[in-house]
Structure 1
Amino acid sequence: MHFGRKNLPKPAESKGARPALDAKSVIREARYTFVRGLGWAGVMSGFINVLQLTVPLFMLQVHDRVINSQSTDTLKLLLVIAIGAIILYGILDFIRALIFQEMAKSLLRRLNLPAISAAMGVALEKGSVQGTQVLRDLSDLRTFINGNTIGAPLEAIWAPIFLGVMFALHPYYGIAGLIAVLTLIGLSLLGDLLVRQITKEATDANLRNIGDIGSTVSNAEAIEAMGMLPALAMRWRLSQQHASELLDIGNARSKGMYSVSRSARFGMQICVLAMGAYLVIQGETTPGAMIGGTVIMGRLLLPFDNVTRDWRAWVSALSSWGRIRNILEERQSEREIEPTPRSEGPLVVDNLVYAVPGANVPVLRGINFNLNPGEILGVVGPSAAGKSTLSRVLVGAAKPTAGGVYLDGHSTYLWERGSFGDMVGYLPQSVSLLNGTIRENIGRMRHANPRKVIDAARAAGVHEMIGRLPLGYDTPIGAGRHTLSGGQQQRIALARALYGWPRLLVLDEPNANLDAEGEASLLRAVKQAADAGAMVVLIAHRQNIMQYAHKLLVLQEGRVKQFGERTDVIRSMTQDDDNIKSLPTVKRNQHNGGAA
């Protein structure tokens, strides 16, 4: 059975659809914030660098003027000016630090929500490790901006000020300073060439190790029960050793280049001092200029030395920003449209195709069916038929490769997630509750109406069970908190799906951990939701919960093998012995009274 697109409203014509969150705008505003803050910090750095000339110029004037003239009045005046300049230097340096702090806070404020949204999308598609990497990048970027590393290049930009003073003292000083600066820049570039690739390989290897360990820890019970820890520990050790070796090579190269850079800086300062002494002997400059030129030379080279030392921090920060920008651009907010009012229309799946990125064979191929309000659809089929994937696509947790899923004419994937959440209840195959209270979990982590929370709990048959917990609905659950059994978690997750009586209810293996009492409560909840006008999609292997289904969808190898009214599908299946084997319970129930 096929339902063509000609009967469907176009998604682009959805009510008031327009982009609510533009990734390019977010990136542009974040970049503008950073550049503007960096510009102000750069201006401050110019004044700070000028004020840093206070010490060498004070030394020069004391040596050449005060000592020669024996004037204490001149010394007092110079001292007052120098102290005032140093105080002003401290004030401006503090203001620059506040600018960096405000930059970091502003960037975090602009990027936080888009980054979290992107992280959730990546976690859905590629796993939690890749998703959390986005948040780590954001934290690393903030730490970098708040640190002292970011200021070194800004000070290096104002190197011409010091070079100009050195040329004013004597042309040889200026030439020596210019040669020294170019030498340090060359060493920095050489160090980057030696370290960049090896550091990237080490970072990638470390991320893979973190992902492997994270996925392994989630299966701690099986590992402990079957004695798999020694073998896994050996695998971790080998992979970590490889990553550690790469990191050690990168650190060794980086530290080696920094040592060469520092040695070169100290050597050039000694050469400038020796050159100054020679010029004093030749009568071409004064002893004060010799001392001042040496101090200015050290100050000139210091930011370049810091840039060499902190170059990897800059590269790492740029890499973090690049990953954040790329993920925001790749996950351009195609699904973030204007909130849509609660609708009453049917669910239509039109020529749906879904393929895992990089896979040659689609998981779902040409799925077509519709479901009207108040109807219950049972989805059955062998393992790996695509049932759980279908449930994820139905609720917009996965993007269709082709075709689409439409609820009242709106694409479930493109629907703004806040208003879509009011329309949909979802119970995934792998149940997981969030850190918080039971009330917060059932209420979907919102400031939920207590009456609606209790209504959902009653519908799921867990109200009395919750009342027996230490703090009732306020019992905290999650990591390190009150532990619930698998059946209790599944029933609370069912209450969460039922909260607010959604229009579309998708339940994937909802009875997997339930006993007879829990299964009876599930059946009552499904019947009650359908009677209230909801469309219910039930995915299960235990066919007895299909007794209330109005329609059946049989999936096999990602294709629709049978779809239609439950009795029609059962009648068709009983005519094929192979199909009977694939659905033994359906046939048995049909002969026992027509229940599937």
Structure 2
Amino acid sequence: MNMAVMGFFARSELAATLYAFRREFLVVGIFSMVANVLMLAPTLYMLQVYDRVLASRSELTLLVISLLTLFFFAVMAFAEWSRSRLLVRAGVRLDAVLSTRVFNASFEANLSHSGAPAQRAFNELTEVRQFLTGNGIFAFFDAPWAPIYIGVLFFLHPFLGWVSIGFALVQAALAWFGHRRTVAPAEAAAKASLDVNLYLQGKLRNAEVVESMGMLAGLRERWARRHADYMERQGASQALTHRINAISKWVRYCQQSFALGAGALLVIDGQLTAGGMIAANVLMTRALAPIDQMVNTWRSFIGARSAFLRLEKLLQAHPERDQALSRVPPTGQVVLRDVVASAPGRAEPILKQLSLEASPGTITVVLGPSGSGKSTLARVLMGIWPDVAGEVLLDGLPLAGWSRAELGPHLGYLPQDIELFDGTIAENIARFAEVDSNKVIEAARSAGLHDMILRFPKGYDTPMGEAGSLLSGGQRQRVGLARAIYGDPALIVLDEPNANLDDVGEAALMNAVRQLKAKGCTVFLITHRPGAVAVADQLLMLRDGHVHCQGPRDAVLAHLQAQAQAQAQARPEAPPSAGASAPLPA
């Protein structure tokens, strides 16, 4: 039996983590047993007062049983407090165990665009933790002791026991009905709420664009439709829950009154004492309380269960990486063999059977029109594109076989969209690792930033929140470039690094690229500007995801020039239009 239970909980990483807290839950169960057994104390006290104290009129007897009852109440309160405190501590430990794991998994899900935002994952973890440490879980610990109370009712009189069983079945049926009817509406309302929040957050992030071009009214109308749909679903879910709670309350009141009436009938027939009548009423209420509590907390249980299943799916989709994996630092030898990169919802792959090689100390310039797959190639080279077939090798080993924490310092990446993070300029350049001042200054000098940074009042210690409003697009791109080349990584991929640079900035970029080459770094430079061709060792031109031409720079340029001349000779001559110019090879 124990092996079966262990096998059940071992079905997933999240369930196994919860199973690791089985000792805490066992102790909570023991405290629940003590508390529930001592719940019989008020019943026994009433029986003794009505049937013994009032009959004997003994003050000493009343004093003794009162002191005993107070002692039992103190023990019961200690058991209740202990199990609550233990569950709270277990919740804190659970959060400590899972928070880092959930953070990593949600980060990878966002990286691959295959999951909900990290905020939702942490909200789900909080929902599970709060349910496991809240009042709702006590109903499940107290429910197994309801048969004990019903057994005591049978001891008082079988009729009372059968009455309690009848009401227990009614409330259990109500709980089952509530589960069947409220799961789908509650989940639909939760999904609609998430959609509304994500939509609103996305628009707030682009508030300047929305305001400048007068898009607010149209977007507000779309948001209002989503919000109305959410309110409708939320209202339907709440209305159903309130109906079930109202029926449960009606059943509870009927049970209390009917139990008292049934006891009075037995008293009239001489089959039960007055004390037994009062005690039976209290005892039946206590016996059915866990079931009633389960009905009232069913909504919380459904939410926690759904959150658990989503977290379970998230952790299964993004298993933990082997942090103990260690390799020799890479030299930068890159090999791609028959790489196919796809995207969800796209009929054709973005990259199609792409193969290339790049040796340390070389610069590969990637050219091609928009939509040809250049930025996708950059992500493939960094190992951050989710759907890739073929081989992407670094020093002869697949990128997936490296520990990202270990490999990260040996990679440099400058995406088209520069994102700088909360912290100082030095911390951003140093990638939020331990700041090496010499390396930070060297990277800043290479990117042409050093003199500009020194003009800030706090220099390299200037917070990005303060400097962000003072930096132009080109300066932010230079900070991103300094971050990419910090520490002279073995492999550096620069995606449109000169898109926002002026002539001075582009000269600094070209100088930085030459320095990286001299240090033996492997550099991929993706650009539209033909000036970057001058620093290239090899050129790679993409068209529609295919390799149009590739090879040493001079050979590719000669091939493109010959191809252009052949095309020009093949078409009839036409007078050049005003302002026309010959197309550049890039």
Q: Which amino acid aligns with 1:222?
A: V
1:343 match = 330
1:224-235 mapped onto 2 (5 Å cutoff): 224-235=211-222
User: How many Å separate the matches in 1 of 2:342 and 2:462?
Assistant: 41
Give secondary structure in 2 for the equivalent of 1:536. strand
1:570 match = 557
Q: Does 1:548 align with 2:543?
A: no
Q: Does 1:493 align with 2:485?
A: no
1:277 Cα deviation after fit: 0.5
Structure 1 residues 471-480 or 312-321, which shifts more?
Answer: 471-480
When residues 25 and 204 of structure 1 are mapped into structure 2, their CA distance, relative to the original with a 3 A threshold, is closer
1:138 Cα deviation after fit: 1.3
- Are the counterparts in 1 of residues 428 and 483 from structure 2 also a CA contact under 8 Å? yes
2:311 match = 324
Given candidates 488, 501, 512, the residue that maps to 1:525 is 512
- Are the counterparts in 1 of residues 332 and 521 from structure 2 also a CA contact under 8 Å? no
Q: Which amino acid aligns with 2:351?
A: L
1:386-397 mapped onto 2 (5 Å cutoff): 386-397=373-384
- Are the counterparts in 2 of residues 433 and 478 from structure 1 also a CA contact under 8 Å? no
1:576 Cα deviation after fit: 2.5
Give secondary structure in 1 for the equivalent of 2:401. coil
1:16 match = none
- Are the counterparts in 1 of residues 538 and 552 from structure 2 also a CA contact under 8 Å? yes
2:262 match = 275
Count of residues paired in the alignment: 566
Q: Which amino acid aligns with 1:427?
A: L
User: How many Å separate the matches in 2 of 1:446 and 1:139?
Assistant: 29
User: How many Å separate the matches in 2 of 1:128 and 1:469?
Assistant: 40
User: How many Å separate the matches in 1 of 2:523 and 2:149?
Assistant: 75
Give secondary structure in 2 for the equivalent of 1:470. coil
Given candidates 179, 193, 199, the residue that maps to 1:212 is 199
Q: Structure 1, unaligned stretches of length 5 or more? A: 1-22, 591-595
- Are the counterparts in 1 of residues 13 and 316 from structure 2 also a CA contact under 8 Å? no
RMSD, aligned α-carbons? 2.3
1:589 Cα deviation after fit: 7.1
User: How many Å separate the matches in 2 of 1:227 and 1:268?
Assistant: 62
- Are the counterparts in 1 of residues 426 and 461 from structure 2 also a CA contact under 8 Å? yes
Q: Does 1:188 align with 2:175?
A: yes
2:365 match = 378
When residues 185 and 30 of structure 1 are mapped into structure 2, their CA distance, relative to the original with a 3 A threshold, is same
1:395-474 mapped onto 2 (5 Å cutoff): 395-474=382-461
User: How many Å separate the matches in 2 of 1:92 and 1:32?
Assistant: 23
- Are the counterparts in 2 of residues 347 and 370 from structure 1 also a CA contact under 8 Å? yes
User: How many Å separate the matches in 1 of 2:520 and 2:582?
Assistant: 29
- Are the counterparts in 2 of residues 115 and 135 from structure 1 also a CA contact under 8 Å? yes
1:481 Cα deviation after fit: 7.2
1:177 Cα deviation after fit: 1.1
User: How many Å separate the matches in 2 of 1:481 and 1:161?
Assistant: 67
When residues 580 and 418 of structure 1 are mapped into structure 2, their CA distance, relative to the original with a 3 A threshold, is farther
Q: Does 1:49 align with 2:36?
A: yes
- Are the counterparts in 2 of residues 397 and 413 from structure 1 also a CA contact under 8 Å? no
User: How many Å separate the matches in 1 of 2:249 and 2:307?
Assistant: 28
1:209 Cα deviation after fit: 2.0
Q: Which amino acid aligns with 2:183?
A: R
Given candidates 75, 78, 88, the residue that maps to 2:62 is 75
Given candidates 233, 237, 240, the residue that maps to 1:253 is 240
When residues 120 and 34 of structure 1 are mapped into structure 2, their CA distance, relative to the original with a 3 A threshold, is same
1:17 match = none
User: How many Å separate the matches in 2 of 1:186 and 1:369?
Assistant: 66
Give secondary structure in 2 for the equivalent of 1:436. coil
1:539 match = 526
Q: Per-residue CA shift, 1:157-185, capped at 9, x if unaligned? A: 22112111111111111111111111111
- Are the counterparts in 2 of residues 398 and 413 from structure 1 also a CA contact under 8 Å? no
User: How many Å separate the matches in 2 of 1:580 and 1:61?
Assistant: 110
1:32 match = 19
1:69 Cα deviation after fit: 0.8
User: How many Å separate the matches in 1 of 2:49 and 2:273?
Assistant: 12
1:26 Cα deviation after fit: 4.2
Structure 1 residues 479-488 or 188-197, which shifts more?
Answer: 479-488
User: How many Å separate the matches in 2 of 1:247 and 1:393?
Assistant: 42
Q: Does 1:152 align with 2:139?
A: yes
- Are the counterparts in 2 of residues 115 and 134 from structure 1 also a CA contact under 8 Å? yes
1:336 Cα deviation after fit: 5.8
When residues 461 and 547 of structure 1 are mapped into structure 2, their CA distance, relative to the original with a 3 A threshold, is same
1:9-158 mapped onto 2 (5 Å cutoff): 26-27=13-14, 29-126=16-113, 129-158=116-145
- Are the counterparts in 2 of residues 436 and 478 from structure 1 also a CA contact under 8 Å? yes
Given candidates 353, 365, 379, the residue that maps to 2:352 is 365
When residues 25 and 207 of structure 1 are mapped into structure 2, their CA distance, relative to the original with a 3 A threshold, is closer
Q: Does 1:354 align with 2:341?
A: yes
- Are the counterparts in 2 of residues 334 and 414 from structure 1 also a CA contact under 8 Å? no
User: How many Å separate the matches in 2 of 1:233 and 1:443?
Assistant: 41
Identity of aligned residues (%): 36
1:561 Cα deviation after fit: 0.8
Q: Per-residue CA shift, 1:333-369, capped at 9, x if unaligned? A: 4676603221225111111111113432111111100
- Are the counterparts in 2 of residues 337 and 415 from structure 1 also a CA contact under 8 Å? no
1:242 match = 229
- Are the counterparts in 1 of residues 174 and 244 from structure 2 also a CA contact under 8 Å? yes
User: How many Å separate the matches in 1 of 2:436 and 2:19?
Assistant: 41
User: How many Å separate the matches in 2 of 1:457 and 1:390?
Assistant: 27
User: How many Å separate the matches in 2 of 1:216 and 1:154?
Assistant: 45
User: How many Å separate the matches in 2 of 1:290 and 1:487?
Assistant: 85
Give secondary structure in 1 for the equivalent of 2:383. coil
Give secondary structure in 2 for the equivalent of 1:366. strand
User: How many Å separate the matches in 1 of 2:151 and 2:72?
Assistant: 20
Q: Which amino acid aligns with 1:293?
A: A
1:19 match = none
User: How many Å separate the matches in 2 of 1:578 and 1:469?
Assistant: 53
- Are the counterparts in 2 of residues 381 and 556 from structure 1 also a CA contact under 8 Å? yes
Give secondary structure in 2 for the equivalent of 1:341. coil
User: How many Å separate the matches in 2 of 1:513 and 1:150?
Assistant: 57
User: How many Å separate the matches in 1 of 2:464 and 2:534?
Assistant: 34
Give secondary structure in 2 for the equivalent of 1:413. helix
User: How many Å separate the matches in 2 of 1:451 and 1:246?
Assistant: 58
Q: Structure 2, unaligned stretches of length 5 or more? A: 1-9, 569-579
- Are the counterparts in 2 of residues 141 and 317 from structure 1 also a CA contact under 8 Å? yes
Structure 1 residues 275-284 or 317-326, which shifts more?
Answer: 317-326
When residues 577 and 345 of structure 1 are mapped into structure 2, their CA distance, relative to the original with a 3 A threshold, is closer
Q: Which amino acid aligns with 1:180?
A: F
Structure 1 residues 559-568 or 119-128, which shifts more?
Answer: 119-128
- Are the counterparts in 2 of residues 573 and 579 from structure 1 also a CA contact under 8 Å? no
When residues 136 and 478 of structure 1 are mapped into structure 2, their CA distance, relative to the original with a 3 A threshold, is farther
Q: Which amino acid aligns with 2:179?
A: D
Structure 1 residues 461-470 or 269-278, which shifts more?
Answer: 461-470
Using structure 2 for the length normalisation, give the TM-score.
0.92
Give secondary structure in 2 for the equivalent of 1:352. strand
Q: Does 1:175 align with 2:162?
A: yes
User: How many Å separate the matches in 1 of 2:231 and 2:361?
Assistant: 59
Q: Which amino acid aligns with 2:239?
A: A
- Are the counterparts in 1 of residues 115 and 314 from structure 2 also a CA contact under 8 Å? no
1:63 Cα deviation after fit: 1.2
1:516 Cα deviation after fit: 1.8
User: How many Å separate the matches in 2 of 1:441 and 1:587?
Assistant: 42
